[in-house]
């Protein structure tokens, strides 16, 4: 767990006069779960968009597997294994769960299945898609319409879609938002398991989940990282307690 899979240096993004990402530098090591926390409006989602390529950075660099990807599009970053778990809106409700995952495999592999005849091509796509669904424990829902899934299951499907793209690093933006207690427990267990094989950058407001899952935590406040460390280091950091975790934690 030492090599940096993702290295972010002095990243910047402004909207008008508002410096939303204000010189952010951090790295994510292979096979770590790195959580980014911060108060509402701190700039977490903007940062994730800059990492995924959904938003162009004004300045700074993003390096992934040693290569500079700062100017690459989102599609090119996904091809290299940097995938954001897409919002629920990107799930195609009218298609089955399996078809949704298979489309992600196809988007990634394009040419790699070209030599197969159509029937075996479809079988190969479906095998990979089923493997991704099995990873998120949705294989028993494979033939249901995606629109019939519960909210939590849709979150699982989003993660399966990211896995099906062949992601090495998963960018997860508030996967627990809007989930109930049971759904949230399923997703936490899933992330616990996924971090054995994947590197994960997690944005999450649920602090119990963050402190249970994260190897390291970075704290973003007004577009700047005020601390990066183990959950314990961050929890006891005086600036973090003052700026973010609040009086009840500091008491």
Ligand X SMILES: Nc1ncnc2c1ncn2[C@@H]1O[C@H](COP(=O)(O)OP(=O)(O)OP(=O)(O)O)[C@@H](O)[C@H]1O
121 Cβ neighbours under 8 A, 6+ residues apart: 113
Among 22, 24, 33, 38, binds ligand X (CB under 6 A): 38
Q: Which stretch binds ligand X (CB under 6 A): 12-20, 56-64, 80-88, 162-170?
A: 12-20
Phi, then psi, of 62 in degrees rounded to 5 = -120, 120
- Is residue 219 involved in binding ligand X (CB under 6 A)? no
Among 10, 14, 41, 233, binds ligand X (CB under 6 A): 41
Closest distance to ligand X from the beta carbon of 222 (Å): 9
- Is residue 175 involved in binding ligand X (CB under 6 A)? no
41 vs 147, which CB is nearer to ligand X? 41
State which H helix or E strand residue 224 sits in.
strand 224-229
- Is residue 45 involved in binding ligand X (CB under 6 A)? yes
Q: Give CA–CA dist 145/74, Å, rounded.
A: 27
Q: Is 246 left (phi over 0), alpha (psi -120 to 50) or beta?
A: left
Q: Which stretch binds ligand X (CB under 6 A): 34-42, 101-109, 164-172, 231-239?
A: 34-42
- Is residue 42 involved in binding ligand X (CB under 6 A)? yes
CB 27 within 8 A of CB 216: no
Among 8, 26, 43, 240, binds ligand X (CB under 6 A): 43
40 vs 89, which CB is nearer to ligand X? 40
Q: Give CA–CA dist 251/239, Å, rounded.
A: 14
Among 40, 89, 111, 196, binds ligand X (CB under 6 A): 40
243 Cβ neighbours under 8 A, 6+ residues apart: 39, 219, 221, 226
Q: Which stretch binds ligand X (CB under 6 A): 39-47, 90-98, 179-187, 206-214?
A: 39-47
Closest distance to ligand X from the beta carbon of 180 (Å): 20
Q: Which stretch binds ligand X (CB under 6 A): 26-34, 43-51, 162-170, 234-242?
A: 43-51
**101's tokens:** 């995952």
- Is residue 246 involved in binding ligand X (CB under 6 A)? no
In this structure, the number of other CB atoms found within 10 A of the CB of residue 126 comes to: 17
Cα distances (angstroms) measured from residue 138 to each of 197, 228, 229: 18, 34, 34
Q: Applying CB under 6 A, which residues contact ligand X?
A: 15, 18, 20, 38, 40-46
């Amino acid at each position: 767990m030492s090599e940096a899979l993702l290295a972010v240096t002095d990243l910047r993004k402004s909207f008008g006069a508002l410096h939303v990402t204000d010189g952010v530098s951090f790295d994510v090591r292979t096979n770590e779960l790195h959580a980014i926390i911060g108060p509402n409006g701190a700039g977490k989602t903007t940062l994730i968009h800059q990492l995924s390529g959904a938003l162009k950075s004004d300045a700074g660099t993003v390096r992934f597997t040693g290569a500079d990807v700062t100017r690459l599009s989102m599609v090119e970053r996904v091809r290299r294994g940097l995938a954001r778990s897409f919002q629920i809106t990107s799930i195609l409700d009218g298609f089955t769960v399996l078809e949704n995952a298979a489309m992600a495999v196809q988007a990634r592999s394009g040419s790699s299945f070209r030599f197969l005849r159509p029937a075996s091509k479809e079988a190969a796509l479906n095998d990979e898609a089923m493997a991704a669904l099995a990873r998120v424990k949705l294989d028993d829902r494979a033939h249901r319409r995606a629109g019939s899934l519960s909210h939590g299951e849709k979150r699982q499907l989003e993660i399966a879609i990211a896995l099906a793209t062949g992601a090495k690093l998963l960018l997860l933006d508030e996967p627990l938002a809007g989930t109930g207690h049971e759904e949230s427990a399923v997703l936490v267990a899933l992330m616990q398991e996924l971090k054995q094989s994947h590197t994960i950058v997690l944005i999450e407001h649920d602090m119990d989940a963050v402190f249970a899952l994260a190897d390291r935590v970075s704290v973003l406040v007004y577009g700047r990282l005020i601390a990066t460390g183990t959950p314990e280091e961050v929890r006891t950091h005086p600036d973090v307690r003052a700026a973010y975790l609040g009086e009840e934690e500091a008491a």
